[in-house]
Amino acid sequence: MTTKQDLSARVALVTGGSRGIGAAIALTLAELGAAVAVNYRERADDAEAVVAKIKAGGGRAIAVAADVSQAAAVAKMIEQVARDLGPIDILVNNAGIAIPRSVDELSEADFDRTITVNLKSVFLCTQAVLPMMRARKWGRIVNISSGAARGAGAIGPHYNASKAGMEGLTRGYAARLVKEGITVNNVAPSLIETDMMRGRTDLARNIPLGRMGQPEEVAQAVAMVLGNDYMTGQTIILNGGMAFI
């Protein structure tokens, strides 16, 4: 027997929520009843379009600008969400960048930027929401990792390192927060049809399923994780059958 989750008493923050996987997650959480803060850095119009869609469906949502790799910006964002929607119960760390580089092309600046945006942001946002979750002895943190955390990937070693680090952070937080009612998990998609993969439909030949994944399928996995009190420190892998781990 399955029942639809009811998140109507919850407030969710989705970083990088203006498009692609982040937008699909924001819309899915709103459909389940959550009030949703859609974070963006530059794409204000896209974020507002996601918010408008949520409101059109009767939900509550705001768009909130912040560079989540910067501590001061994160603190301001958390304050705004708490003021406008309420304390944050659900954090989805989805914001990230992909700078394709070969080993010889990879620069120190590329490496530092990737680690800061993809990994440090998870640390900053998680630390910022923990006091609210601890106060209610309930919280859900889901980090959007990647198959690149365990495989070769197509972006470069800097990207692999950022996603592997994210999964390490997940396990570290999960082990230390489980007794406080807070779960921390990863969802690790590979080859999802988003702007990042634009023009790379040829990669579908590597997928046994025969097609790329869809952002909505990643959002379904996030929703599943949110509804499971017994799951923490785990990585849910979505790759169309390319690897079994």
153, 145, 86: which is closest to 121 by C-alpha? 145
Question: Are 185 and 234 in contact, with CB atoms under 8 Å apart?
Answer: yes
Residues with Cβ within 8 Å of residue 123, at least 6 apart in sequence: 169
Tokens of 108: 């120190």
Tokens of 171: 């396990």
Q: What residues are labeled active site? A: 159
Element spanning 237, H or E: strand 235-238
Tokens of 164: 């592997």
Q: Which residue has the tokens 């530059």?
A: 42
Q: Where are the alpha helices (DSSP H) in the chain?
A: 20-31, 44-56, 71-84, 108-115, 121-136, 157-177, 215-226
50, 59, 72: which is closest to 11 by C-alpha? 59
Question: Are 212 and 201 in contact, with CB atoms under 8 Å apart?
Answer: yes
Tokens of 126: 């998680």
| Phi-psi map region of 50: left, alpha, beta (phi>0 left; psi -120 to 50 alpha) | alpha
Q: What is the rounded CA–CA span in Å between residue 28 and residue 32?
A: 6
